[in-house]
Each structure stands twice: as C-alpha cells, then as structure tokens.
Amino acid sequence: MSELDFTKPVQPAKTSIYDPAMAMEFFGSVGKPETVPQGATIFTENEKRNRLLLQRDKMYLLLEGEVSLIAKNKVIAKVGKGEIFGEMASISEMPRSASAVAKIPCRVIGLDDGQFQSALRKRPEFALMLMSVMIRRMRDTIGKQNPGGPASGVKMKESAVFDKSALAILSRALSQTTVRYERNKVIVKEGQAGVMMYVVLEGRLAVSIRGKLVERIGAGGVFGEMALVERTPRLATV
C-alpha cells in the first residue's frame, strides 16, 4: 500500500468534487474553443490513436450545448455545459469506451496530452480534482454492476483504477512511502478528517459505511481521495 501525502493546501471544489470554474481556467489556459455542429461525432467507440502517426487522444470540456455518450448503439450518459468528457482514453491510452456525439450545436475545448501537461504545470491542483472525477465515475460504474451491495453467495467485483503496468511504475516510484497493513487492520475510519489518499499495490480491502459492506478494492484501486479533495470527514471505513 502506498500513501500519497497531499497535506499541502490546494484549491478544493467548493460544494462538490468537480469545480467547473477551475476546469474552464485549466482548459482555457492552453486550448482554444471549437464549434461542433449538431449530429457530429467528436470521437468514436473503440477508437485508439496511433502515436507513431502523431495521433493523440484528447479530453474535452463542454462550453455550450449537450453531448451524448453512446456505447453499443445505446446512450449511456449525457454531458452538460461545464463538464469534462473523454478523459479516460486520453490519460490511460486505452480505446474509447463510447462515442461522443453532439446532440445540439456545441462549443468545446479539446486538449491533447502535450497541452494537458502544459496546463498542469500552471494549475497542478487540477490533477487531484480530475483524478477524483475519474474515480467517482469508475465507482459509479462498479456500483451499477453491484446494485445494493454484495448479495449472498455472489462475488463482488473489485474496484481498480490502475492497470498492472501502471501499478508497477507506481510501486517503483513510491517504494519509499509503501506501508503494509495486517489483515483486519482499519486504515481509515468513517468520520475522520482526510489528509491522505491511498493506492492499493497488493491485497484486497473492504469498504463499509455504518457497518455495511459497500465495495471491495483490489490491487490498482484508490481510496481516500474524496475527503482529501472536499476537506470533509471520511464517508467510509476501510
């Protein structure tokens, strides 16, 4: 287990994890608005850019309009003004999990990885907010796969954010801050103040709220980021 210490003050989202004003400042610092006509496809499901051909996946901020996210010919989500989309494929370099189509005329700002890194040097606190958004979306997906928590006799799917290759890099980079916890040891407790987030390098963890198991986290999983970003007490015990 590796602890990432973010005790240095950062600008947190005001009332939720995601702050549209911070996102607008971040994207606007290096990107330019683009107009997307109604019905146009911004990116396509299973699409993967070829870096050898200097193709780069982008993440987007929607300035105006509405975007539909479509997977297997079914609308799975809608993106509204001020929201980010396309970040997963851009950061993970994995194929797009859905197509993005402009439901009405839209204006967007798209950032490739070079622009993202440039903006990050100006506003490093954005990385923490973006990570929390990504993790929340992954957990929402896992929650849909495990409605109502673990049923009796049914194996609950484990939450994981980082794949094996990313974990190997993290393990080497954070080897000096790795901490081991014994079986049944409580790492964070519901109601405590949050000053750290955690990455699971190996093992399995149980997440409970008011004594009820709500999630399992395996290698590659992340927890503790919500209380860190929002500066609020821990919502669960791990």
pLDDT tens-digit profile of 101-120?
999 999 999 998 889 888 88
Per-residue model confidence as pLDDT tens digits over 191-211: 887 767 777 878 888 888 888
Do residues 180 and 100 share a domain? no
Do residues 140 and 105 share a domain? no
Residue (of 205, 236, 202) closest to 220 by Cα position:
202
Do residues 114 and 138 share a domain? no
Is 64 within the bounds of a domain?
yes
Do residues 135 and 69 share a domain? no
Domain of residue 163, residue span = 2-11+124-230
pLDDT of residue 105: 97
Do residues 137 and 215 share a domain? yes
pLDDT of residue 238: 82
Q: Phi then psi for 22, rounded to 5 degrees? A: -65, -40
Do residues 193 and 220 share a domain? yes
CATH of the domain at 191: 2.60.120
Q: Which residue has the tokens 């996210």?
A: 69
**CA 96 from centroid of its chain's CA atoms:** 15
Q: Which residue has the tokens 């006509």?
A: 37
Do residues 204 and 156 share a domain? yes
Strand partners, 75: 70
Per-residue model confidence as pLDDT tens digits over 8-49: 333 333 345 678 899 999 999 999 999 999 999 999 988 876
Is 16 within the bounds of a domain?
no
CA distance 75 to 5: 39
Do residues 108 and 132 share a domain? no
Q: Where is pLDDT greater, at 119 or 161?
A: 119
